[in-house]
Structure formats: structure tokens, C-alpha cells
Amino acid sequence: MKNDQPKFSKLDKRIGTLGKGISGQVDLYETKNKFGYAVKVYYPKENYESNKEFKIRVLHEYNILSKLDHCNIIKQYKYDVSLLGSTIKLYMPVGSPHLYKLVRNRNNLEQDELLCIWKQLCQGIKYLHSVNICHRDIKLENIIFDSEYKLIKIIDFATAQEVAPDTLSIGLVGSENYAAPETFTSLKYDGKASDIWSLGIILYYLINKKLPWKSAQWNDLDFKQYQTALNEESSNTILFNLGLDAIKESQLLQPDPNKRVSIFDFDYFSWFENIRFCNSIHSCGYNHNQTFK
């Protein structure tokens, strides 16, 4: 993983800021050889007990990512901690704007191209779950393309968790739009199953260009109507225009996590197997650079 790491220097030029959040920002840099990279800068805005606690919390993301090696997972080059321990920088490859920004204002996107993106996302999640890591914040804003606009990358592992088999996750994290219903109602839940729910929300958005509901809770009328339709086995439960097999088999948005499919079940679905997607070797046939850049 380190063979393609650039040589960093204090003379590297800061080009601009890619994004800002509550806890920090992401800046774009360029080496003297015109190699671009991103730096995620954390500065404490919360009341941590100590700089040691701050370092542990922030480097949680780096420590998880440093163990991973998959074409659909963002890499981390290195990290720096300031002398006083109050600022931490994570160095990573530069990519595209996040997927929500790329998709929301584009009309007439072809479904097969969008399914390529979604299947790439599924490959990344399958890898994570195979090494017993759940992301817990899968959303369009945490998916980017690489600099060549071929492979998608899952980013932001701040709330990711390493889980032993049959170990439950604790705490409501992530974004409300994408969160599974059990994360609102249960103190402990299956983090991998919650990732599957988020995959379903993303698939719904890519196909329909809108989110199905604001929050998967009973006080959300859209979600309540959906759950009622499921209980009544109504035809309104058809969420995706992917064919009859997909409708029957894809329990991605099954409110009961015990009935929800796992990422490993996808390999047995013919409709999923037939989705063409880009990987390190093959292309789906679409030029994502031309579509999205």
C-alpha cells in the first residue's frame, strides 16, 4: 500500500480547501512534481478531557484504515500531530467531490451506470464486513471517485467499528436519513445490518433521485406508510425498478434487522451478479469521467 505514497515536503503547495466540517477541514495540496493529495485537518472543538483523548478519538479512523487494502476503500498515507497535540492531520489521496454533489443536479443519468457505482460500493462493504468492520455512516456524502473517475472510494471512518462475530454496536451515529430503524430504538444493534440498510437507501436515491423518508422512525409519515404497506404485503412495497427477482430478494430495507439480507447473500442474486461494474482490471463500459467530471 505504501509503494505509491508521494514524498511529502513542507514546501508542498496548498491549492485550496475541499470541504469543511465541525471538527476540521480537508485541504488540497500539490508536491513539486505536481502530485496532488488531500490533508484532513482535525482541530478540537469539543471538550476533550485531554489532548491524549483527542488523539485517540481522531486516530481511531487512521488506525482502522491502516489495516485495510481494497480498491474501493480510501487509503491513508500517514498522519502528523502538532507539538502540543492540539491539531492532527491525516494525509490521503485526492478524489472527486462526494457522490451526492455529483448526482443531485444531473438529469438523464443511465441506470446501468449508477448501478456500477452502487455495486462498487457493495464490494467495498463486503470487504469491510469480511474483516469484521462496520462503517456505520454509509451515505452519498461519504463516497467519492478516485482522481481518474473510475473507482469509487468509501471515506470517513470516524464512526467505523471493529466487531467480533456476534458482537453488537452501541450508540446512534451517522446521518438520520440513512440510519436503520433499530439504531433509533435499540441501545445495541448489528452494525453490519445497519450498513445494509444504508446501502438500500443509497440504491433508492440513485434510482429515484430522492430519499424515501427523512428518518426511519414511526413519527415519519413516509416511513410509517412504507412499514404499513410491508405488513399488508401491498404492491407499494416495490421500491426499485430492477426486475421481479430483485423485488423479491433484496430485503435491503427490511425494518427487521434479523430478516435483512447480509452483504454475502448478494452473490446468490442473479440480478446483482448481472450488474456490470468497474474494478481495478475491468470497466463497466461507461466513462464516468465524461459523465461526472
Asked if 22 contacts 78 with a C-beta cutoff of 8 angstroms, the reply is no
All three cell numbers of 225 = 406508510
Q: Which residues 6+ apart lie within 8 Å of 195 measured at CB?
A: 125, 128, 129, 134, 135, 136, 138, 263
| Element containing residue 224 per DSSP (H, E) | helix 221-231
**Catalytically annotated residue among 27, 80, 112, 137:** 137
**Whether residue 69 lies in the annotated active site:** no
Other Cβ atoms within 10 Å of 70 Cβ, number: 17
All three cell numbers of 242 = 430492477
Asked if 95 contacts 146 with a C-beta cutoff of 8 angstroms, the reply is yes
Which one-letter DSSP state was computed for residue 12?
Answer: P
- Which residues carry out catalysis? 137
